[in-house]
Homo-oligomer: A and B are copies of this chain.
Amino acid sequence: MPNFNTPPTLNAGRSVFFVSDGTGVTAETFGHAVLTQFDMRFKQIRLPFVDNEEKAHAAVQQINAAFKADGQRPIVFSTLVTPKLSAILHQAQGMHMDLFQTFVEPLEQELGVQSTHTIGRSHNITDSQEYNDRIEAINFSLAHDDGQSKRNLEAADLILVGVSRSGKTPTSLYLAMQYGLKVANYPLIPEDFERGKFPSPLLAYKQKIFGLTISPERLAQIRNERLRGSKYASLENCRYEVNEAERMMQAAGIRWLSSTVKSIEEIAAMILQELKSDKPVF
């Protein structure tokens, strides 16, 4: 459980600052994309809403203080638009990673338009169709989690199937949240294996079904965390279910992939690749 109140301790790794004149979402997303490349822990400090000179100077002081305390210069990811504030921030004794100077300014020139930050317009994302589609996709995916509803499956962009705890739910929610896809998910359960038939409500939608499988060993480990010692979690039962599920998917001609050593981001990327989505990003 994260601890919100304890101040950062010295052994928590290099200090990383995310400095923004807004909420800091962009600075953080960008910083995380870079930091995930390093197998280290970082001590993160968010400095959002740095929108005047006084706050910029305060940020400089805080970064310099971290340098003094750590004995190592902090990494500073920043998305300050105003050149004056950016110049103040760059006085801090940190390693500066400036998203705007590096990428957004050249891209403004290339595209021949100003970025929404630069023109200082409050970007009310909640007005956009894309945003509302994402929220709608989250609601759809929740309502169609774990086979809860067979209604309106024709509206689904994708239907994930697989044994219980093969990763369907987090993958569905991730695809809905990040890509605005309406993803239903449907468990393959012992009753299906006994009948030896793929769940019939789904057969009409074969084109948009994608299977997740998982190694029986990993599945037993995950299930044991919830229901230790149960038949449900036993390696023998997991072997049986995975084996039957794979056989059933193969017989029905359904594409699948293994979630065993993949993160939800990786599973999502592979499914999207498979679906050859060419929809616009925003």
Contacts and interface: CB of A to CB of B under 8 A. Distances in A.
Interface of A: 1-8, 12-14, 16, 23-26, 28-46, 48-49, 73, 75, 95, 97, 99, 102-104, 106-107, 110-111, 113, 115-117, 122-127, 131, 135, 138-139, 142, 145, 155, 157, 169-170, 173-174, 177, 179-182, 260-266, 268-270, 272-273, 275-282
B104 A37 contact: yes
Given A113-B40, A115-B37, A138-B169, A261 B4 contact: no
B23 A269 contact: yes
Given A25-B265, A32-B281, A177-B177, A1 B111 contact: no
B33 A157 contact: no
A79 B67 CA distance: 30
A95 B75 contact: no
Nearest to A18: B281
Contact of A138 (B32, B34, B173): B173
16 contacts: A7-B278, A13-B280, A16-B281, A25-B265, A37-B104, A38-B111, A40-B113, A44-B278, A44-B281, A46-B272, A46-B277, A75-B110, A102-B103, A124-B261, A127-B261, A138-B169
Main secondary structure on A side of the interface with B: mixed
A279 B48 contact: no
A104 B34 contact: yes
Nearest to A181: B2
Which of A8, A180, A281 gathers the greatest number of chain B CB atoms within 10 Å?
Answer: A281
A135 B170 contact: yes
A253 B92 CA distance: 38
A278 B6 contact: yes
A180 B34 contact: no
B107 A39 contact: no
